[in-house]
């Protein structure tokens, strides 16, 4: 009797939980005619949420721009863009669930913005089989290899890192040795490979590579291994900003005097308050920013729109996800050029867009030698520096179409 | 590896062990008294973190006030939950534990709705590092160590030298016999549950400036706390202390000397205990109804 009563109590609590979860869930907008649905899945909760949410925000902002202009024109009809974002919690099984929902329930033909390699790779076979044209930001090489319907908008480490570190050797010739820190997963291993290959290619000696498991908050054991090697800089690439911040904070506490470099996107607005702004002064990152003489006016406009729509949160330098802002523009131009939603024709039209003017500079498709397709956007990479709690653009550098050969760095 | 690395790893292990102990203490206390696994422990830890974030970081008030508010809210919530949810489920391990799981999910969802999913930073309260012959001890961690030692000391004194504490022990050992001796079981259970929740909030509040605060911050410490009480023994406070040190040292030394592969050793230890000594070092067998 007591057990029965207890079970009823337990079920009641769980029911209350689900009620709360569902009242928090987004209600799907009503179906309308002449709507172009674009799906998206990214971590919107959990440790990688800051990346996912900001990516989705950037894509929404770009979609707003097209909608303000009336939408996408297909055979004389205007289609307004409707974004449907799902939360994959940076987990493979959640990503597969999200993709199935988007394709089979929401009937989307396009997906925009997945930025975590491991979850995306789990869902890629469904995307390719259903001919769902997808623009991604995730960086692992396998994401693009031999794909027909997947395009990559962010410049991955293997193309960006050589240009990044070449520039580093130019402005900081004193930086001669590095240790790379990344997560113990597909994203982390790919970024480590790329960063270390790039360092070796430009003459920086790689002293070691360290991997941490997801959820780690105490890095003192890892740092106790690294710091006696006395690297000139610690390098991060696929490391989320909150984790980067903790490593930096703990490294300084353990007496590390060297520099920190994050060769991909890592918002100092997240890193600074946790790591301490003094600890990241002078840090070089591949993040986009709105400050510095070299920043194009179009980017400053995006920043103003961002602030208007989302407020000031995390706004020292652009939040990390803004890298995917140009994808909506490229996708919509491709659809308009194809003048149809038929996937193969849209793919062909996108591939033939030629040289494109994007907000981040002139871009073109590349990657044939590496991925057996020309689905990698080659857009200038931004190299910025933290200066007095601001992120200042130092240079725009051309990414390498053909990455350096794999080195024996381990 | 040099003596300096060994010394630094030893100090890191001590610091980590005390952090583990702080988190595991409340969990094991509730387990010993209520015979239930408080799956909401991680969320109560989160509550302590958010209290510090709101009071200290957002409102600019005193850091310790943030901890006191967090503890007060957690204790109050604990007493209330014990009265409304867990008292009817007393000694019902599975239903009570599932109810705790649901409460944890509610707390996490509410914090997600209120604070959003992005991590919140809490400024360093105790800046600076002590350097002893090349071995570095951050002040923040030193404060946590002192806080942990104060908490464990207070708990030991309370349990052994105060009537209410002795009653807690009596209820943990045999609640029926304790009731026959005139101990008010309901009151003692509410007290124990409240203290357990308060301990989680103290841990969250102390550790918040060390890392960052988020609705998911309780997950990893909860798992470590489970590992600690499996090793130390279910429901044993001295066991939790021993378990914390064992796990803290194994985690730090294996990770330092072997890299990420060292993560396996903590889990191997748990498996060995579950197979060969399921009651842990100093634990007792839980009776399931």
d(CA A322, CA A402): 25
- Which residues of chain A from 42 to 81 reach within 8 Å of chain B, CB to CB? 44-47, 49-50, 53
Q: Please state the rounded mean pLDDT for residues B82-109.
A: 88
Q: pLDDT-based confidence at A3, cuts 50/70/90?
A: low
Residue A15's pLDDT is what?
62
Structure tokens at A302: 């995006």
Whether ipTM exceeds 0.90:
no
CA distance A209 to chain B (A): 10
Contact A87, A114 (CB under 8 A): no
Task: Nearest by CB to A253, from B5, B129, B260: name it.
Answer: B129
Query: Average pLDDT, stretch A211-228?
Result: 87
Q: How confident is the model at residue A31 (pLDDT cuts 50, 70, 90)?
A: very low
Share of chain B above pLDDT 70, in %: 98
Mean pLDDT, rounded, for A328-355: 95
% of chain A exceeding 90 in pLDDT: 57
Residue B200 · residue B26 · CB < 8 Å: yes
pLDDT at residue A30 is higher than 80: no
Find the mean pLDDT for residues A302-306: 85
pLDDT at position A292: 83
pLDDT tier for residue A407 given thresholds of 50, 70 and 90 = low
Residue A5: per-residue pLDDT: 60
Burial class from Cβ neighbours inside 10 Å (0-12, 13-18, 19+) for residue B276 reads exposed
Bridge-based pairing of strands A35-42 and A77-87 is: parallel
Strand positions, DSSP E, A71-174: 72-74, 77-87, 110-112, 133-136, 150-152
Whether the CB of A6 is below 8 Å from some CB of chain B: the reply is: yes
Task: Answer whether A273 touches B (CB < 8 Å).
Answer: yes
pLDDT at A216: 84
Mean pLDDT of the A105-130 span: 93
Given a cut of 80, whether residue A289 has pLDDT beyond it is yes
SS3 for A245? Answer: helix
What local confidence, expressed as pLDDT, does residue A27 receive? 42
Three-state secondary structure of A20-38: HHHHHCCCCCCCCCCEEEE
Please determine, for residue A25, whether its predicted confidence score (pLDDT) is greater than 60: no
> How many other CB atoms are there within 10 angstroms of residue B102's CB atom?
23
Of the two residues A356 and A185, the one the predictor is more confident about is: A356
User: Could you tell me the strand order of the sheet in which A72-74 lies?
Assistant: A72-74, A77-87, A35-42, A110-112, A133-136, A150-152, A376-378, A361-366, A356-358
- Angle B235-B241-B242 (CA atoms, 0-180°, nearest 5)? 100
Q: Name which of A48-52, A350-354, B162-166 the model is least confident about.
A: A48-52
Rounding to the nearest 10 degrees, give the CA dihedral for residues B60, B124, A244, A283.
90
From chain A, the residues in CB contact with B216 under 8 A are 45-47
Using pLDDT thresholds of 50, 70 and 90, give the confidence band for residue A24: very low
Flag whether pLDDT at A29 surpasses 50.
no
Count the alpha carbons within 13 Å of B38 in the hemisphere toward its beta carbon: 36
pLDDT of residue B127: 86
| Average pLDDT, integer, range B35-51 | 92
The shortest CB-CB distance from A17 to any of B8, B102, B259 is to B102
Coil, helix or strand at residue A55: helix
CA nearest to B206, candidates B38, B80, B12, B48 = B48
Residue A4 has pLDDT above 80, yes or no: no
Token pair listed for A157:
């480490």
Contact A221 B110 (CB under 8 A): no
Give me chain B's average pLDDT, please. Answer: 88
Chain A: residue nearest B105 by CA?
A17
| A382 contacts: CB under 8 Å, gap ≥ 6 | A286, A287, A288, A289, A360, A393, A395, A396
- Work out the pLDDT band at A380, boundaries 50, 70, 90: very high
Q: What integer best gives the mean pLDDT of chain A?
A: 87
Cross-strand partners of A112: A135
Residue B154 sits at the chain A interface (C-beta within 8 Å): no
From CA B184, how far away is CA B247, in angstroms rounded? 36
pLDDT at A319 (0 to 100)? 64
Which chain B residues are Cβ-neighbours of A224 within 8 angstroms?
A: 5, 8-9, 12, 256
- Least confident stretch, A366-370, A393-397, B280-284: B280-284
**Once rounded to an integer, what is the mean pLDDT over residues B87-110?**
88
pLDDT at A7 > cutoff 60: no
Quote the tokens at residue A184: 């113990």
> Measured between alpha carbons, how far apart are the two ends of chain A, in Å?
63
Q: What is the pLDDT of residues B108-166, one digit of tens each?
A: 989 988 988 778 889 888 888 888 888 888 888 888 888 888 988 898 899 889 999 99
Q: Please list the helix, strand and coil fractions of chain A in percent, rounded to the nearest 5, in that order.
A: 45, 20, 35
Cβ under 8 Å to B: A residues 229-268: 242, 245-246, 250, 253-255
Average pLDDT over every residue of B71-82: 93
Q: What is the pTM of this model?
A: 0.78
What single-letter DSSP state applies at residue A373? Answer: S
Between A403 and A15, the higher pLDDT residue: A403
- pLDDT of A382 over the 60 cut: yes
In this model, does residue A317 exceed pLDDT 60?
no
Question: By mean pLDDT, which of A111-125, A187-201, A299-313, B132-146 is the weakest?
Answer: A299-313
Residue A14 has pLDDT above 80, yes or no: no
Q: Is B257 exposed, middle or buried (0-12, 13-18, 19+ CB in 10 A)?
A: middle
If one compares A69 and A270, the residue with the highest pLDDT of the two is: A69
């Amino acid at each position: 009797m007591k057990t029965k009563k207890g079970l009823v109590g337990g079920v009641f609590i769980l029911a209350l939980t689900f009620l709360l979860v569902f009242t928090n869930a987004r209600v799907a907008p009503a179906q309308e005619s002449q709507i172009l649905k674009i799906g998206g899945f990214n971590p919107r909760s959990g440790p990688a949420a800051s990346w996912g949410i900001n990516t989705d925000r950037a894509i929404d902002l770009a979609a707003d721009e097209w909608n303000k202009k009336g939408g996408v024109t297909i055979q004389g009809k205007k289609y307004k863009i409707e974004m449907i974002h799902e939360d994959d919690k940076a987990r493979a099984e959640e990503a597969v669930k999200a993709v199935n929902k988007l394709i089979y329930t929401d009937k989307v033909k396009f997906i925009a913005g997945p930025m975590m390699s491991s979850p995306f790779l789990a869902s890629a076979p469904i995307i390719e089989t259903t001919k769902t044209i997808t623009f991604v930001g995730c960086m692992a090489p396998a994401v693009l290899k031999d794909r027909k319907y997947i395009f990559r908008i962010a410049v991955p480490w293997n193309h960006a890192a050589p240009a990044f570190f070449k520039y580093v050797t130019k402005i900081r010739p004193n930086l001669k040795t590095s240790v790379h820190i990344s997560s113990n997963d597909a994203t982390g291993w790919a970024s480590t490979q790329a960063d270390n290959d790039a360092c070796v290619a430009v003459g920086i000696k790689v002293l070691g590579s360290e991997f941490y498991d997801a959820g780690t908050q105490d890095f003192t054991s890892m740092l106790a291994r690294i710091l006696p090697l006395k690297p000139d800089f610690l390098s991060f690439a696929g490391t989320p900003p909150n984790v980067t911040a903790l490593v930096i904070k703990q490294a300084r506490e353990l007496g590390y005097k060297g520099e920190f470099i994050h060769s991909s996107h890592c918002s100092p607005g997240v890193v600074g308050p946790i790591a301490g702004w003094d600890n990241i002064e002078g840090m070089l990152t591949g993040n986009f920013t709105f400050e510095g003489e070299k920043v194009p006016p179009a980017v400053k406009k995006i920043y103003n729109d961002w602030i208007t729509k989302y407020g000031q949160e995390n706004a020292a330098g652009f939040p990390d996800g803004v890298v995917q802002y140009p994808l909506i523009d490229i996708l919509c131009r491709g659809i308009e050029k194809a003048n149809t939603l038929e996937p193969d024709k849209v793919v062909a039209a996108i591939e033939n867009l030629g040289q494109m003017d994007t907000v981040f500079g002139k871009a073109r498709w590349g990657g044939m030698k590496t991925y057996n397709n020309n689905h990698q956007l080659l857009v200038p990479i931004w190299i910025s520096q933290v200066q007095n709690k601001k992120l200042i653009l130092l240079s725009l550098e051309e990414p390498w179409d053909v990455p350096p050969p794999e080195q024996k760095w381990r | 590896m040099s003596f300096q690395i060994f010394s630094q790893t030893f100090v890191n292990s001590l610091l980590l062990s005390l952090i583990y102990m702080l988190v595991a203490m409340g969990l094991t206390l509730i387990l010993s008294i209520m015979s239930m696994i408080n799956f909401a422990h991680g969320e109560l830890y989160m509550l302590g973190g958010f209290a510090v974030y709101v009071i200290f970081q957002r409102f600019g008030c005193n850091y310790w006030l943030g901890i006191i508010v967090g503890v007060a809210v957690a204790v109050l919530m604990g007493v209330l939950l014990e009265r409304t949810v867990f008292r009817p489920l007393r000694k019902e391990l599975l239903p009570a534990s599932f109810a705790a799981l649901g409460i944890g999910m509610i707390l996490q969802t509410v914090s997600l709705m209120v604070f959003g999913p992005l991590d919140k930073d809490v400024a360093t309260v105790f800046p600076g590092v002590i350097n002893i012959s090349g071995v570095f001890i951050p002040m923040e961690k030193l404060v946590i160590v002192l806080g942990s030692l104060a908490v464990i000391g207070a708990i030991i004194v309370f349990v052994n030298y105060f009537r209410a504490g002795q009653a807690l022990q009596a209820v943990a050992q045999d609640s029926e016999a304790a009731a026959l001796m005139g101990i008010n079981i309901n009151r003692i259970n509410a007290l124990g549950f409240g203290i357990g929740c308060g301990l989680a909030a103290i841990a969250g509040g102390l550790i918040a400036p060390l890392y960052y605060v988020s609705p998911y911050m309780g997950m990893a410490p909860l798992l470590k706390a489970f590992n600690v009480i499996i090793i130390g023994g279910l429901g044993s406070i001295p066991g939790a202390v021993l378990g914390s040190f064992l796990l803290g040292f194994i985690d730090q030394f294996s990770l330092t000397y072997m890299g990420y592969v060292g993560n396996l050793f903590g889990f191997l230890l748990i498996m060995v205990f579950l197979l060969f000594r399921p009651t842990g070092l100093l634990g007792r067998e839980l009776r399931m109804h």
